[in-house]
Every structure is written in structure tokens, then in C-alpha cells.
């Protein structure tokens, strides 16, 4: 039977606030370094009303994407993006780093 990794969080409350912010900082830095600031902000602002649906899609595709990307950061990011305030924080971090 499938035995999920107990260290991978399944709800947002399992991820401490400092870890959430650190992961959002990492994503914001990655976006800015690649010169994707404007497209990322436009995408995030446009998709804000659908952030929960988007996070659920990320979780659904997780088994396929984790075949390429190892680690639990992808799962954590999908959970973090569920919350409206975290999407707004990501936008603010991208703007601050650019």
C-alpha cells in the first residue's frame, strides 16, 4: 500500500510562517533573476481570484512534476499559494526584489 512521506505537509497550517515566507522569497528571487517580473506580476494579479483552484491543480499534478523535481518544496508552494494573503505577499516580494 502507498505510504506517503510524513514529512511532506498536507495542509497549510503544517508549514511554519517563517518557512512560508522563506519559500516565497526564494520564488520571488528566482522570478526576478530570470527577468520575469512583469509577466509574473500580471499572471498573479490576474489569477488572484482563482488562486485556490490553481493551488489544487498544482497539488494534482504533483506526482508528475515530482518525477522531475525532487523534494517537498513544490508541495509546500502549492499549499502556500492557497491563501490570498500569500499571493499578495509574493507580488510584494517580487516588486521589492526588482
Over residues 9-34, the pLDDT tens digits come to: 888 888 999 999 999 999 999 899 99
Q: What is the pLDDT of residue 39?
A: 93
Report the C-alpha gap between 98 and 84 in whole angstroms: 22
Over residues 45-98, the pLDDT tens digits come to: 988 888 888 888 888 887 777 765 667 888 888 889 889 999 999 999 999 998
Q: Is the pLDDT of residue 38 over 50?
A: yes
Report the C-alpha gap between 47 and 41 in whole angstroms: 10
Domain limits of the chain?
A: 15-97
Amino acid at each position: 500500500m502507498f505510504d506517503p512521506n510524513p514529512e511532506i505537509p498536507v495542509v497549510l497550517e503544517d508549514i511554519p510562517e517563517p518557512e512560508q515566507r522563506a519559500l516565497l522569497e526564494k520564488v520571488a528571487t528566482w522570478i526576478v533573476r530570470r527577468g520575469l517580473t512583469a509577466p509574473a506580476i500580471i499572471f498573479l494579479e490576474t489569477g488572484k481570484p482563482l488562486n485556490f483552484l490553481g493551488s489544487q491543480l498544482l497539488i494534482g499534478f504533483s506526482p508528475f512534476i515530482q518525477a522531475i523535481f525532487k523534494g517537498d518544496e513544490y508541495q509546500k508552494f502549492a499549499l502556500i499559494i492557497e491563501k490570498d494573503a500569500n499571493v499578495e505577499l509574493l507580488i510584494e516580494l517580487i516588486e521589492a526584489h526588482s
